[in-house]
Chains A and B, each alone.
Chain A
Amino acid sequence: MKIFLLIIFSAVIISVRANASLPICNLDTAKQAIPPRIFAEQTIDGRDQNITLTRFLHNKIGIYASEFSRCYANVFDPNFIYHTVGIVGIITWLYFVYQIIQRKYYFLLIVLLALPLLPFLKFSLLPILFAYKLFAIIGLGFLLSKLK
């Protein structure tokens, strides 16, 4: 019965048309965002404010980190995951993440955390789409193995 459910739901997860897309957000867009933001933010601050404070609050490192974190977090957008693996898949995907932490599968955790670097470094999204489907199926396996 468990094998049957695994096959059926895996088929559902695999057959979800992975038409998920992410906004364009990579190394280039992060670099391009820096000059206009620095200019705008420092201009407004520069009117009455101490220059050191202005530079502490609005600097290239901070803006780059902000843009990078936005690009990074996009890959974990629930809508992106939902469009990749479907409604059943998103539940099993979350369960997979919980289980790899619980069971201390650090290698898989590192793979999961490294995946968002691919679109940031301008690689294709395909490995992420396949990986998410695989994670959802593994998570399904974890879930079914818990059922009595």
Chain B
Amino acid sequence: MRKYLLLGIILLAATLRLYKLASVPPSLYWDEASLGYNAYSILKTAHDEHGKFLPLTNFAAFGDYKPPGYIYAAVPSIAVFGLTEFAIRFPSAFFGTLTVLLTYLLAKKLFEKEKIALLSAFFLAISPWHLQFSRGAFEANLGLFLSVLGIYLFVKFAKDNQYWILLSLLSFLAAMYTFTGQRLFVPFILLILFIQFKNAVVKNLKVVIPGIIIFAFLFWPLYKFATGTIEGRLRFNEVSIFNDLAPADESTRLRTKDNFAWWANLIHNRRLEYAHEYLVHYFDAFNPAFLFTKGDVNPRLSVQEVGELYLIDLPLILSGIYFLFAKKQNFRFLIIAWLLVSPLGPATARETPHALRMIHILPTFQLLAAFGFFGLWEMIKYKKVFAVSVFLLLAASFIYYLNMYYIHWPINYSGEWQYGYKQAVQTANLQKSANVVVTKSLGRPYIYFLLYSKYDPGEFWATGQVVRDKFFFLDVNGFGKYHFVDDVNQAKVSGETVYVSPPGSVPKGAQVIDTILNLDGSPTLVISKKNVPNPPDNKN
């Protein structure tokens, strides 16, 4: 019976992650398009979009130097399903479903109770946080699967067989090659696991030490890239709070106010100001509005009217934390430490709380909620009333979430997903023109023209005008007949030209062919056409 329940939960997870995968979210946003086209380029040519052979530590992409994991994971998917939205998102949905199964297996190892394991898996299967990232091509979601796999295999090493440590370390390594945030999580979780299972580690040193050596050897190229190159440090420098001068200015202001007294230099020290700033960002991770009522403020990362977790999860999670300590559960250190270290890395960034960067905190909330539910079940007198109430509230929250996710969110926030580019590419390519001039106003249009035209990577290398700015970001000003400009009226072209411009910027004399609307009805792009005469010869 319990096997059928597990099967039912996995099927539910798969259905929730695969249903309308290509159309909700309503469009590929630029990172998804980049992941997809790079995977396509690898499939066709074994080179990335910029012509680099089988990159190991990073894909240059937009100059954001993406980790390689998701791109390589998308290659077989694109080989089977073609270069489509579904194929690009499929690895995330697939590994998201497997994460639900892993949660069951992990919970079973930690709590040794089938019911708690089933409930943990069920909570993750319907979790808004996990669904949001399983339904888009997010490297973080694949990274989550790999780190949870690493944790599970580590527990198996401690409980079952010493050789699982090798696979565990390889999983963690793969996680770091998949998502940048994992590089600030894996060291901490490994430390926690070593502490939790120190007896097993010491007892099996003859396997652990070679495992660490292999790990270090395979990690070395990534370490060199991430710490030894400007490109590797780019993203961290861009988002880090430690590059913000405000705390230092505040320190100076306060010390000035106190006439630079010796005690003022001590208590208004800029290091303390930065530490305070860090703590504020750390505690943001547990903001109740973020977790339970509104979600992440970024409309791509949350539906905005539902938290990252359901409101009913709150009393269950708090109960779970209480019961972990009250019952002196064997793995309370692992679970609570995992919960507490997960925001350490994301707290170094300006934008907090951040659902994507903190995703590796899952599935601790689901484990706690399941444990809390059963703790309350044992304690409460009217068990059936309790269980029915919880599941009714959960069902109502879940149905509300599905309504918001599938009906309201795409309409309200299609613009956040660069909606309109696909239609623009299709319309522009239907016109037989000498040139296509495209606005950059929605951001990085070139990748959509590459993707939806299934443009040959070799031709792109031959004709692409790639520029690198002073911040090391890469931009493409054109390839083939496509030109990407800030202002379409300034494009220097001649002959039959199709323009893809924002509303209100249609070139003078151009005939409007189509206006592309966002799902909320607001115009986003206008396709127009005109014959641009050749410029006169200046022979004098």
Contact = CB atoms under 8 A, between A and B. Distances in A.
Interface of A: 41, 44-45, 49, 57, 62, 66, 69-70, 73-74, 76-79, 82, 87, 98, 101-102
8 contacts: A62-B400, A69-B311, A70-B288, A78-B286, A78-B287, A82-B279, A82-B283, A98-B325
A44 B293 contact: no
Contacts of B400: 57, 62
A71 B95 CA distance: 36
Contacts of A87: 279
Contacts of B305: 66
Given A79-B287, A82-B279, 10 more contacts: A44-B408, A44-B411, A69-B293, A70-B288, A70-B294, A73-B289, A77-B283, A77-B288, A79-B284, A82-B283
Contacts of B280: 79, 82
B408 A74 contact: no
> B-side binding surface: helix, strand, loop or mixed?
helix
B407 A78 contact: no
B261 to A, nearest CB: 17
A74 B289 contact: yes
A57 B403 CA distance: 8
Interface residues of B, number: 24
Interface string B386-428: 0000000000000110010001100110000000000000000
Interface string B279-310: 11001101111001110000000000100000
A3 B412 CA distance: 58
Contact of B292 (A62, A73, A82): A73
Contacts of A57: 399-400, 403
Contacts, number: 50
A73 B403 contact: no
A115 to B, nearest CB: 14
Contacts of B292: 69, 73
B328 to A, nearest CB: 12
Contacts of B326: 102
Q: Quick one: which of B294, B399, B407 has the most chain A CB within 10 A?
A: B407
B331 interface: no
B283 A78 contact: yes
A66 B283 contact: no
B322 interface: yes
B294 to A, nearest CB: 7
A98 to B, nearest CB: 7
7 cross-chain pairs, A with B, having the tightest CB-CB distances, nearest first: A73-B288, A78-B283, A70-B293, A79-B283, A78-B286, A57-B403, A44-B408
A38 to B, nearest CB: 12
Contacts of B289: 70, 73-74, 77
B264 to A, nearest CB: 15
Nearest to B291: A73
A66 B293 contact: yes
A41 B314 CA distance: 25
A65 B493 CA distance: 58
A66 B403 CA distance: 16
A130 to B, nearest CB: 21
Contacts of B322: 98, 101
A73 B408 CA distance: 25
A77 B325 CA distance: 22
A73 B283 contact: no
Interface string B23-38: 0000000000000000
B430 to A, nearest CB: 30
Nearest to A87: B279
B293 A45 contact: no
